[in-house]
Amino acid sequence: MGIRQRLALGCALVHRPRVIFLDEPTSGVDVLGRRQLWAILVRLARDEGVAILVTTHYMLEAEHCDHLALMYAGRVVAAGTPATLRSELHDHAGTPLTVATTSPSASLRVARDNGFQRAASFGRTLRVLSTDIARDQQRLTELFRDQNISVSDWHVDDITMDDVFVDSILSQEQTNESLYRNVVV
């Protein structure tokens, strides 16, 4: 239940460091322990001025950080505050539209094949960033109907750090594909 992580943090704090490096500090920690650990880290950073560098795969945890560097394939694909990254994504790509269908994988294929290149699967739903919700909802409805894919729910969401990370990866992959297509052998 995260006893090792708690002990390691305690050992790291004994000498009152000015900088702490934490690699996946909540790995294996239960939900309550995770909250407690982040409360300690936030207090250290805010009240005691300790600089804390954290690596995590949990985008929800990244929300606690003052500044982020999102990495993919060894490269930084986005950097800034969580609020800035969400705002920038909204400004250039729009608002998340989440669609629950009878076939999430087929829905993703249909969306991408028809111009929604940054569509992504989120569990059993499809998530599309849209600058015109009504237009894109209508277009996707028609595309899904043509493929006999039933839609059970539509809803508009706020941008999350997961959206920022997934969009950053998809953008990076599209850039790489463009570079490879333009290489003359």
The CA distance from 57 to 68, in Å, is: 12
Q: How many domains does the chain have?
A: 2
Structural domain includes residue 68: no
Do residues 17 and 94 both lie within one domain?
Answer: no
Q: Which amino acid is at 137?
A: Q
Structural domain includes residue 71: no
Question: Tens digit of pLDDT for each residue in 101-151?
Answer: 999 999 999 999 999 988 998 888 999 999 999 999 999 999 999 999 999
The CA distance from 28 to 128, in Å, is: 32
Look up the domain containing 169 and give its range.
84-181
Question: Tens digit of pLDDT for each residue in 63-106?
Answer: 889 999 999 888 899 999 999 999 999 999 999 999 999 999 99
The CA distance from 105 to 101, in Å, is: 9
Do residues 40 and 95 both lie within one domain?
Answer: no
Structural domain includes residue 162: yes
Structural domain includes residue 174: yes
